[in-house]
Amino acid sequence: MALFKKNLKYTLVRVKKKDIPEGLWVKCQVCNKAIFKKKLEENLKVCPYCNFHFPLTVWERIELLIDKQTFKEEDKDLEPVDILEFQGPKSYKEKLESDQKKTGLKDAAISGRGKIDNKDIIIAVTDSRFIMGSMGSVVGEKITRSIERALNENKPLIIVSGSGGGARMYEGMVSLMQMAKTSGALSKLHQKGIPYISVLTHPTMAGVMASFAGLGDVIIAEPQALIGFTGPRVIEQTIKQKLPPGFQRSEFMLQHGLVDMVVERKNLKSTISLLLKYLS
């Protein structure tokens, strides 16, 4: 055939491969699926495939819960001190400087006041990006001052916890004292009948969960959040047994009466607003 006898000439064209910018996709740590970052942010950082609720920064929390332009930060000048001059592979001072630069925060919590559906509230939020949201002297002091502010002004208190680090080991006994200090302040709030709503996010663990995070009049958890004292891997190694499916997740905690409700992020503000009306 003429087609096979004809000499064909080919010209090689080099196509320059376009570089794909980094950070466009995020991998879900639960279902392992890749999610377009913009789509994830539009969905309030909730995985569209498995409904896993990614951690939010303190400022994203404020934007989610507080009425626009009503938040006023308090105690923003408090900074941690390296009391023990802790040394390790990385000193406490170095870790503080690194996380302060990375997050723009002075420590793992912010506190202040604002409105939820035009209802005055006192709020404190922890951020797991800053040394795992652990509670040192500054976090404990901010939480305690928030409690005292709610007590003195007779306003409802909201604390959003996201601490995978518990009490901060770099401050030793001083960090452990914050558990008693925050719990003692909350007992006075309870005696006066002022509502305290505790919101548990992924993860809320150890000393934080064993103190102020677990003492709410109503305890709300986001779906699939890891909640407990010691992590499941340590527990399994200690008791030499396999833990049940979903152990220490929000839904498991709800079934066993350790939280009062599991609420999706998109419904969190409206749920808190409704609770404030009931509790008032």
Q: Is 182 helix (H, G, I), strand (E, B) or coil?
A: helix
Identify the pLDDT of residue 66. 95
Q: Is 30 helix (H, G, I), strand (E, B) or coil?
A: coil
DSSP symbol at 220? E
Q: Considering the chain, what is the average pLDDT of its residues?
A: 87
Q: Cα separation of 222 and 198, whole Å?
A: 11
Q: Return the residue matching tokens 């208190």.
A: 157
pLDDT digits (tens, 9 = 90+) for 83-93: 888 887 888 88
- Does 246 have pLDDT greater than 80? no
Handedness of CA 157, 162, 168, 169 (dihedral sign): positive
Q: Is 129 helix (H, G, I), strand (E, B) or coil?
A: coil
Tokens standing for 105? 């925060």
Q: Cα separation of 121 and 257, whole Å?
A: 27
- Cβ partners under 8 Å of residue 254, min gap 6: 221, 260, 261, 262
Identify the pLDDT of residue 12. 59
Q: Cα separation of 181 and 215, whole Å?
A: 13
Identify the pLDDT of residue 195. 95
Average pLDDT, integer, range 248-264: 90
Kind plus residue range of the DSSP H or E element containing 242: none
pLDDT digits (tens, 9 = 90+) for 177-219: 999 999 999 999 999 999 999 999 988 888 888 899 999 999 9
Q: How sure is the predictor about 10, in pLDDT bands with cuts at 50, 70 and 90? A: low
Angle of helix 268-279 relative to helix 58-65, nearest 10 degrees, comes to 60
Handedness of CA 222, 161, 130, 58 (dihedral sign): positive
Identify the pLDDT of residue 229. 84
Kind plus residue range of the DSSP H or E element containing 193: none
Ramachandran class of 7: left when φ > 0, alpha when ψ lies in -120 to 50, beta otherwise = beta
Identify the pLDDT of residue 14. 63
Q: Is residue 196 within 8 Å of residue 159, measured between CB atoms?
A: yes
Q: Return the residue matching tokens 């001083």.
A: 174
Q: How sure is the predictor about 243, in pLDDT bands with cuts at 50, 70 and 90? A: confident
Q: Of 153, 161, 136, 183, give the one whose Cα is nearest residue 74.
A: 153
What CATH class does 55-279 carry? Answer: alpha beta
What are residue 176's phi and psi, to 5 degrees? -65, -30
Extents of the domains making up the chain: 20-52, 55-279
Task: Give the pTM.
Answer: 0.84
Average pLDDT, integer, range 136-150: 94
Identify the pLDDT of residue 216. 93
Ramachandran class of 32: left when φ > 0, alpha when ψ lies in -120 to 50, beta otherwise = left
